[in-house]
Amino acid sequence: MRQGAENLISLQGTDGLIKGGQEIYETLEGSEIYQYRISDWRWNSDNSFAYQALRAAELWAVEASDNTNAQTFHNAAEALLNGINTKLYVSDSADPDHGVWWGVIDGNDIPQFPSGHEWMSYAPQMVDVPAQGVGQQIVGDWIQNTFQITTGDDSGAVVWNDAWASERKSPGFSFQAMLAWLDIGQIDYAQAAKSWVMNSGLLHPDGGWIDWIESDTSQAGDWERFIDTSFYAIAACTGGYDFNIPATYTGN
């Protein structure tokens, strides 16, 4: 746990945010392959999960009576939270994305892919980061307006994104959105998503949820059933999940 937290801290910039990985194509000896590198891009989702990881490491350090590392991890989490609030939160009330967060910014703090949205734009809400904007009605309304189908047989379904996969309906993304809506208290949105999933036919008889469907003839394969979808399903269908750790340490 300590080594994992130290690795996260090593990726923090001066703004407190964790730098993220970036996949790039490179040609090597005539073959196009994926290369992976740490870039200066900062992803909202990475930082939301990293915040909770650092808080968990802080608690573990307290349990081990390691107050020095507890303080280090606490300070790193607070710096990261400040970075989310100052660099990723869309505070401009004139911006159509006001109230949520940029999915990713580059090294010059410029939002990337601003015209296309995915779940990453509401990651702090989904994993209970105590960031600016979390818990506000505007977040849940934005999720509903951006991703949820509201008419026809697919009413309630949540799609992958509002760009290239705007017709790709997903149990996983529906459950993720439910976690946000349940915390905000927007029960109608959550119930509509749950109703669609339960009637989608995507629950596999051997367990797990088939990942997506676009039409009767276009859907993911049976093997595309993922662990995280099952977690989100259990969490959402049992009333939500609190990602926050017990507040046993407040720092010096």
pLDDT tens, per residue, the chain with 252 residues: 999 999 999 999 999 999 986 555 565 666 666 566 668 899 999 999 999 999 999 999 999 999 999 999 999 999 999 999 999 999 999 999 999 999 999 999 999 988 889 999 999 999 999 999 999 999 999 999 999 999 999 999 999 999 999 999 999 999 999 999 999 999 999 999 999 999 999 999 999 999 999 987 899 999 999 999 999 999 999 999 999 876 554 554
Q: Which of 130, 163, 178 is the last residue of a domain?
A: 130
Beta bridge pairs of residue 32 = 27
- Please tell me whether residues 22 and 107 are part of one structural domain: yes
- Please tell me whether residues 153 and 191 are part of one structural domain: yes
- Please tell me whether residues 120 and 144 are part of one structural domain: no
Whose tokens are 């989310």? That residue is 84
- Please tell me whether residues 120 and 175 are part of one structural domain: no
Q: Do 122 and 142 meet the contact criterion of CB atoms below 8 Å apart?
A: yes
- Please tell me whether residues 77 and 58 are part of one structural domain: yes
Q: Which of 96, 130, 164 is the last residue of a domain?
A: 130
- Please tell me whether residues 125 and 209 are part of one structural domain: no
Q: Which of 70, 105, 130 is the last residue of a domain?
A: 130
- Please tell me whether residues 148 and 206 are part of one structural domain: yes
- Global confidence as pTM: 0.90
User: What's the domain count of the chain?
Assistant: 2
Tell me which amino acid residue 251 is.
G
Q: Do 62 and 249 meet the contact criterion of CB atoms below 8 Å apart?
A: yes
- Please tell me whether residues 17 and 95 are part of one structural domain: yes
**Residue range(s) defining the domain that contains residue 119:** 1-130
- Please tell me whether residues 178 and 226 are part of one structural domain: yes
- Please tell me whether residues 113 and 154 are part of one structural domain: no
